[in-house]
Structure 1
Amino acid sequence: MLSYDELTAPERALWNAFPEGRRVDVRTGVPENDRVAGGGRWGPERTVRASVIAALLLGANTPQPGTVARLGLAGARISGRLDLAGAQVAHALWLEDCWFEEGVDLLGASTQSIAMVGCRVPGVEAGVIRVEGRLDLRRSHLEGGSASPFHRRVTALSLINAQVSGVVNLNGAELTAPGRWALSAGGLVAEGGVYCQHGFVAHGEIRLMGAQLPGGLHMRGARLTGPGPSGVALALDNAAASTLDFSDGFTANGTVRLRGTRISDNLTFEGAFLNGPPDGAGPSLVAMLMQAVDFDFTLARPPSGIVDLRGAQVSYLHDSDRSWPEVVELDGFVYGSIKVDEDGERREAVGRRDSVARRVAWVRRGPDYNPQPYEQLADWYRKAGHDDDARRVLLAKQRHRRRTLPRAARVWGHLLDATVGYGYRPWLAGVWLLSLTLLGTLTFGAHSPTPAKRGEGAPFQPLVYTLDLLIPIGGLGQRTAWYWPNGGLQGLAYLLIAFGWVLTTAVIAGVTRALQKN
């Protein structure tokens, strides 16, 4: 148990100020002497033992009636380890521009608001903490620390399964744990959201898997570098948030992973840089089964790695020419509307002159043939009232599918494409029929055929004779009544009969395929 006589001058000042909630500031006022990076050189006149801070927070100096006790300290060197693991802390803690010799252990504690602003701390362990208020770590530099003296240094900040009723404020902070976890916060519940803006930097992986963030995750302009062995810069698998803001120069040198993440409002990457893992071997964005209302993917430049949106669902998609890499996984991706960003303006993508060509090229960025992206794109055009564009997309789907078929099936596919456009261009059959009819009428009309039975049958009519050859069903009486001794003309007749069967079969197959939407 600490006694007052054992305290140093700055500790006595803190002891006396605590019951009245006054803040103790031991800074010199000289900027070069007050830089936290040089806190290791601060002497006894600026040193406070961590055990004194813990004792005050745990009730060593009882507050007077009518006052609100809180601990406020600025510009101090904190010696020893601040250990409040499992503690019930009824007082707010405010530390500003302090330099910690050792890490901070808040594992399993229940506390009021905690602020360590502009501090240098070798690791904060706050797993399973319960904070009635905010957790404020603005401008602080947290380095990979250890949860206990028996654990190796791994995480700069641990908030695993923590619950914070207010905000988690990491604006301007720097978390350093290269090749490891800069922030481990799986299962975090932050009612007021998590803020990592205004110069936030993380050297190491940010892990928020399964986090509940009603106030959202805000990382405007944040820089994530030095991912772990997995190549992941940010992992938000199965998290739930009102909004995810990765805009305004947000940079991720590693994979951003949003598998199964549910965003009730806005997901934005406007002006972001998704560089993927440094070795280029991993994807830039993995958002499989992600759900969002508004998905803004107007990046500052195309991602360096794959973008995986398989099974994702969004109501509104915003993209631009800088949004997509060479490979995009779109199988199962569902969207209700697409808008493009051009010259700083958002415009409807449907109805534009090159809309179908651009969108089909987008779908074909997938590594393999999958029908669903084409069907989804066609459905979007159809719902927008552009049925012709929808048919063009479905025709492109059949042409892409044809590349995956055996040779014989590809030949038949080319025939269907040339004759009826797989059923999406039935007017092609009319063009072929008209051309062949004209060819037969002119050729047969310039020659005299031989009657099958002299003096019997209707007079020879070149047009009717040609139609009788081309139409395989029924008969007009000309084909059986006349023949050609000339081998060339007889060969033309056989050719027209064959074309008639091919055209009829192609029309039936193409229309059936279109109706079935295969």
Structure 2
Amino acid sequence: MLAYAELSEIEQRVWDGFATGAHVDLRPEDARAEDPRDGAEDPCDGAAWGAERTVRAAALHALLTSGTPGALRLTGARITGRLDLADTAVPHALTLTGCHFEQPVMLRGAQLRSTGLVGCRLPGLDGWLLRVDGNLFFEDSVIDGRLTLTRAHITGELRLSGVRLTARELVGTDTPEGPDGPDGPAGRAAALPAGDVWALWAGGLVMEGGLFGRHGLTVRGGLRLVGAQLGGGLFLEGAELHNPCGDALSGEDLSTGTMMLSDGFRAHGPIRLPGATVRSRLSLHGAVLDGGRPTGGDPADLVALDAQRLKAGELRLTPAATPTGAVDLQEAQVTVLHDHARSWPADSRLDGFTYTSIHPDGDAGTLAHRLDWLAALPGYAPQPYEQLAAWYRKIGHDDDARRVLLAKQRRRRHTLGPAGRAWGRLLDATVGYGYRPWQAGLWLLLLTALGTALFSGGGQQSTQSGGGSGTPFNPLVYTLDLLVPIGGFGQRSAWYWTDYRQTVGYLLVAAGWVLTTAAVAGITRALNRN
């Protein structure tokens, strides 16, 4: 460890300021009144800073591990060598602002108090198993390399707002800007490494506060938060994530109170949240979701949002534009769903998706929109229809619920064989699969009128032997006797035909059984609110 006498003049100045907790600013005199984050000086240019602004990482290590009480507050320094605090307990507050690090920072297994690397340039940071008793701030920094916080524990907040974070594999690569940038064909076709490219590797991260990556956060590479526990929430309003060859955000089994991917949030690559738990609100309001480049080049593999088995109190799925790629909510459970006409791409996967209530915006609240929504689902699955019908029944719209269930039966019909489809069409035309029992009444009236007219022409034969008098023939009552399968009016047993009308009578008997049974089933279904 370096002794005080081995330090340069600048390093001794830093050491003296540490002992008193004073702020040491190494910037030129005319720049010290400026906020180091206002862009007046770019820490990325720090490699050209001279000896009057150079501090060795070894000197900072000696200072922070000396056991001397104090606090490090340093601005505008070029830090040479590797700052290695692995497995080190640092009981001091640490704030470095507008500094240029020449080598990645090593904090693996370190124990720190509140730490800020604000407006700095770093070629990566390894904080595997890092413990921070307080906040960890990287606001407005440029991190050209992976930020690793795997299984780290932070009792306060993690702030990434304004950060430019680039995965190590992408450092030095160019992505086109403008119309042919990440949003366009040229950006998607740019030569990028294959496989997983992670800018933030933070699986198993545990936080008691929130993770803030609001307006200005730009990420090239993916954010990996698998199994993370973010007690205070995840806030990425206005952030931009570019990882078209991999996942923009991977949050499998993530647990948090609130997740805000909204207000201009842009993802170029899938958002994956299978098994995630969001106790309050998951908002995608005003977001742009682009699934990026499909795996293997197959458009069927293009996924914008994978939220299978998600559990959320409220899901606000109201993006700025229809997502490019599938939206997968299979087996997800939400209490309140907000959506609008642009929420659902052609490939929306909703089998097993349950919700307690829907709060639609605009035309999304109409039954016609909901039926189109379900009709667009790939393949047939009964659960989405039954779930929507249950919601309509809950709010007292029983007629709408029956129309949804009728649409379900019509969709199911396309999965049947020729005989099943034919029978289904007959049930649909006659009684609307039992959800429109009044249609059976119309058919009964039509057949009654037809039979009455047909049997009024005479030619009937009496079943009485010897031609004795019996029940007088009445064509209306005779027709009703054929159509009503239960009971009888004595006409069918007293009279018969020997011509084609006998065959018509048999057909009316069969039609009566079908229509009456369907009508009874429909009435029973209505009474049971099914």
Q: Same fold (TM over 0.5)?
A: yes
Structure 2 residue 414 is matched with structure 1 residue 403: yes
Q: Tell me by how many angstroms 1:425 deviates.
A: 1.1
Structure 1 counterpart of 2:115: 114
- Quote the Cα distance in structure 2 between the aligned partners of 1:288 and 1:323: 16
- Quote the Cα distance in structure 2 between the aligned partners of 1:94 and 1:198: 22
**Residue type of the partner of 1:360?**
L
- Quote the Cα distance in structure 1 between the aligned partners of 2:2 and 2:65: 12
Structure 2 counterpart of 1:449: 460
**Residue type of the partner of 1:356?**
L
Structure 2 counterpart of 1:218: 235
Q: Tell me by how many angstroms 1:163 deviates.
A: 0.7
- Quote the Cα distance in structure 2 between the aligned partners of 1:33 and 1:473: 93
Structure 2 counterpart of 1:476: 489
Structure 2 counterpart of 1:377: 388
Structure 1 counterpart of 2:341: 321
**Residue type of the partner of 1:96?**
T
**Residue type of the partner of 2:213?**
C
Q: CA RMSD for the aligned pairs?
A: 2.1
2:502 aligned residue (487, 490, 493)? 490
Structure 2 counterpart of 1:262: 277
Structure 2 counterpart of 1:197: 214
Structure 2 counterpart of 1:10: 10
1:235 aligned residue (246, 250, 257)? 250
Structure 1 counterpart of 2:181: none
- Quote the Cα distance in structure 1 between the aligned partners of 2:394 and 2:527: 17
- Aligned residue runs from structure 1 range 350-365, under 5 A: 355-365=366-376
Given that residues 255 and 276 in structure 1 are in contact (C-alpha distance below 8 angstroms), is that contact kept between their aligned partners in structure 2? Answer: yes
Given that residues 416 and 510 in structure 1 are in contact (C-alpha distance below 8 angstroms), is that contact kept between their aligned partners in structure 2? Answer: no
Percentage of pairs with the same residue: 52
1:46 aligned residue (53, 57, 63)? 53
Given that residues 34 and 75 in structure 1 are in contact (C-alpha distance below 8 angstroms), is that contact kept between their aligned partners in structure 2? Answer: no
Structure 2 residue 93 is matched with structure 1 residue 73: no
- Quote the Cα distance in structure 2 between the aligned partners of 1:494 and 1:3: 112
Structure 2 residue 306 is matched with structure 1 residue 286: yes
**Residue type of the partner of 1:193?**
G
Structure 2 counterpart of 1:151: none
Q: Tell me by how many angstroms 1:514 deviates.
A: 8.0
- Quote the Cα distance in structure 2 between the aligned partners of 1:502 and 1:3: 100
Structure 1 counterpart of 2:65: 58
In structure 2, relative to structure 1, the CA distance for the partners of 1:410 and 1:511 (3 Å cut) is: farther
Given that residues 251 and 273 in structure 1 are in contact (C-alpha distance below 8 angstroms), is that contact kept between their aligned partners in structure 2? Answer: yes
2:426 aligned residue (390, 415, 425)? 415
- Quote the Cα distance in structure 2 between the aligned partners of 1:450 and 1:90: 112
Q: Tell me by how many angstroms 1:490 deviates.
A: 3.2
Q: Tell me by how many angstroms 1:415 deviates.
A: 1.5
Q: Tell me by how many angstroms 1:237 deviates.
A: 1.1
Q: Tell me by how many angstroms 1:474 deviates.
A: 3.9
Partner SS state of residue 300, structure 1: coil
Structure 2 residue 227 is matched with structure 1 residue 206: no
Q: Tell me by how many angstroms 1:102 deviates.
A: 0.3
TM-score normalised by length of structure 1: 0.90
**Residue type of the partner of 1:98?**
C
**Residue type of the partner of 1:50?**
A
Structure 1, residues 182-206: CA drift from partner, whole Å, max 9, x if none? Answer: 0011111121110001210110010
- Quote the Cα distance in structure 2 between the aligned partners of 1:26 and 1:335: 57
Structure 2 counterpart of 1:438: 449
Q: Tell me by how many angstroms 1:483 deviates.
A: 2.8
Structure 1, residues 412-457: CA drift from partner, whole Å, max 9, x if none? Answer: 1111112221111111111111110111112222334233341232
- Quote the Cα distance in structure 2 between the aligned partners of 1:33 and 1:499: 87
Deviates more, 1:494-503 or 1:374-383: 494-503
- Quote the Cα distance in structure 1 between the aligned partners of 2:102 and 2:156: 28
Given that residues 226 and 254 in structure 1 are in contact (C-alpha distance below 8 angstroms), is that contact kept between their aligned partners in structure 2? Answer: yes
Structure 2 residue 461 is matched with structure 1 residue 461: no
In structure 2, relative to structure 1, the CA distance for the partners of 1:410 and 1:515 (3 Å cut) is: farther
Structure 1 counterpart of 2:190: none
Given that residues 437 and 518 in structure 2 are in contact (C-alpha distance below 8 angstroms), is that contact kept between their aligned partners in structure 1? Answer: no
Structure 1 counterpart of 2:322: 302
Structure 1 counterpart of 2:157: 167
Partner SS state of residue 182, structure 1: strand
Q: Tell me by how many angstroms 1:467 deviates.
A: 1.2
- Quote the Cα distance in structure 1 between the aligned partners of 2:527 and 2:151: 52
- Quote the Cα distance in structure 2 between the aligned partners of 1:24 and 1:120: 18
Structure 1 counterpart of 2:174: none
Partner SS state of residue 82, structure 1: coil
- Quote the Cα distance in structure 2 between the aligned partners of 1:306 and 1:218: 23
Q: Tell me by how many angstroms 1:510 deviates.
A: 6.0
In structure 2, relative to structure 1, the CA distance for the partners of 1:289 and 1:515 (3 Å cut) is: farther
Structure 2 counterpart of 1:34: 41
Gaps of 5+ in 2: 171-192
- Quote the Cα distance in structure 1 between the aligned partners of 2:497 and 2:278: 75
- Quote the Cα distance in structure 2 between the aligned partners of 1:499 and 1:34: 88
Structure 1, residues 200-237: CA drift from partner, whole Å, max 9, x if none? Answer: 0110010111111111000000000025x5x2110111
Q: How many aligned residue pairs are there? A: 489
Q: Tell me by how many angstroms 1:327 deviates.
A: 1.4
Partner SS state of residue 206, structure 1: strand
Q: Tell me by how many angstroms 1:22 deviates.
A: 1.0
**Residue type of the partner of 1:363?**
L
1:391 aligned residue (383, 393, 402)? 402
Structure 1, residues 455-495: CA drift from partner, whole Å, max 9, x if none? Answer: 2321111111111222234433222332334x343333233
In structure 2, relative to structure 1, the CA distance for the partners of 1:33 and 1:277 (3 Å cut) is: closer
**Residue type of the partner of 2:220?**
H
- Quote the Cα distance in structure 2 between the aligned partners of 1:237 and 1:370: 25
Structure 1, residues 333-392: CA drift from partner, whole Å, max 9, x if none? Answer: 11111111239xxx9x3xxxxx22211221233222111111111111111111111111
In structure 2, relative to structure 1, the CA distance for the partners of 1:402 and 1:515 (3 Å cut) is: farther
Given that residues 27 and 34 in structure 1 are in contact (C-alpha distance below 8 angstroms), is that contact kept between their aligned partners in structure 2? Answer: no
Q: Tell me by how many angstroms 1:250 deviates.
A: 0.3
Structure 1, residues 43-97: CA drift from partner, whole Å, max 9, x if none? Answer: 211111001011111116x24xxxxx11111111110000000001011111111
Q: Tell me by how many angstroms 1:292 deviates.
A: 1.1
- Quote the Cα distance in structure 2 between the aligned partners of 1:331 and 1:244: 24
**Residue type of the partner of 1:5?**
A
Q: Tell me by how many angstroms 1:33 deviates.
A: 8.3
Given that residues 287 and 310 in structure 1 are in contact (C-alpha distance below 8 angstroms), is that contact kept between their aligned partners in structure 2? Answer: yes
Structure 2 residue 21 is matched with structure 1 residue 21: yes
Structure 2 residue 250 is matched with structure 1 residue 248: no
Q: Tell me by how many angstroms 1:513 deviates.
A: 7.9
TM-score normalised by length of structure 2: 0.88
Structure 2 residue 288 is matched with structure 1 residue 276: no
**Residue type of the partner of 1:56?**
L
